[in-house]
Amino acid sequence: MKKQKPIINVPETKLCHVKLTKKHIEQESKKRVSRITNEFARGFSFLRDYPKSVTFFGPARLKETNIHYKKAQSIAERLSKLGYAIVTGGGPGIMEAANRGAHDAGGPSLGLNIKLPSEQVTNPYVTKSTEFHYFFSRKVALSFAAEAYLYFPGGFGTLDEFFEILTLVQTHRIAPIPIILVGTDYWNPLDAFIKKNLAEKHKSISKRDMKLYTITDDEDTIIKMVEKAPLRDE
């Protein structure tokens, strides 16, 4: 009887560089499905104790001297004083700013962190956190049951998170919810591109789709929009 070669565990980042057997693929699939299931369950359980929350999205690279950092901190502090848990990706930059505002207000300051080779270290203003391996499971948790989503000027990750939520609302996968883009200097050019190229030139979206989000720098307007939003668990 021919002796079978043992299945060797290979890190996920190196799987694309090795020749995989059917058994190896099956083994890796089971491991990943198990990890994904656990991450979803842990994320939902983590947020279940906070029925009133606002999720902040933004880059890790902005410093505390940046105007958008200061605005995120201020808005988060005001919302926290109104009883909202502040949810972020748990890292530096805008995430730190929002957690800092919640921390200063004495409210729940939550971080849903991601394991990355660089950049992502849990900021010191998070009062409770959980960690994810996969971006998509973390993103689902970040969008779970929030009363509003606030987006600040960011990179590819921020835009990915923005268009993901926008698509879910557009296709009625989730109920209409305030999608607030903070930073007119950053978002207005993107808004113009969407209007000219998507809505008018290529007809790939309808003009009413452009009403799914709001661009503003006014903190009072943001606070009022969040307060008017119905609680997601009702």
Give the tens place of pLDDT for each residue, 120-133: 688 999 999 888 87
Q: What are phi and psi of 88, to 5 degrees?
A: -140, 180
Distance, in Å, from the CA atom of 81 to the CA atom of 100, rounded to the nearest integer, reads 13
> 162 vs 122, 187, 214, CA distance in Å?
22, 11, 12
Region class of 119: left (phi > 0), else alpha (psi between -120 and 50), else beta: left
Single pTM value for the model: 0.83
More confident residue, 6 or 124: 124
pLDDT at residue 234 in the model: 47
Which amino acid belongs to residue 134? Y
The closest of 16, 39, 31 to 136, measured between CA atoms, is 39
Task: Report helix, strand or coil for 210.
Answer: helix
The closest of 188, 210, 189 to 200, measured between CA atoms, is 210
Q: What are phi and psi of 49, to 5 degrees?
A: -80, 0
Please determine, for residue 2, whether its predicted confidence score (pLDDT) is greater than 50.
no
Cβ atoms of 123 and 99 closer than 8 Å? yes
pLDDT at residue 143 in the model: 77
Cβ atoms of 77 and 106 closer than 8 Å? no
Cβ atoms of 84 and 78 closer than 8 Å? no
The share of the chain scoring above pLDDT 90, in percent, equals 61
The closest of 32, 37, 39 to 142, measured between CA atoms, is 39
DSSP state of 209: G
pLDDT at residue 218 in the model: 98
Take residue 178 and report the two structure tokens written for it: 């305030």
The share of the chain scoring above pLDDT 70, in percent, equals 88
Mean of pLDDT values over 216-226: 98
**pLDDT for 25-58, tens place per residue?**
777 788 788 877 888 777 677 778 898 999 999 9
Take residue 195 and report the two structure tokens written for it: 């209007």
Cβ atoms of 69 and 63 closer than 8 Å? yes
**CATH numbers and ranges of domains, the chain:** 40-228 (3.40.50.450)
The closest of 107, 82, 100 to 224, measured between CA atoms, is 82
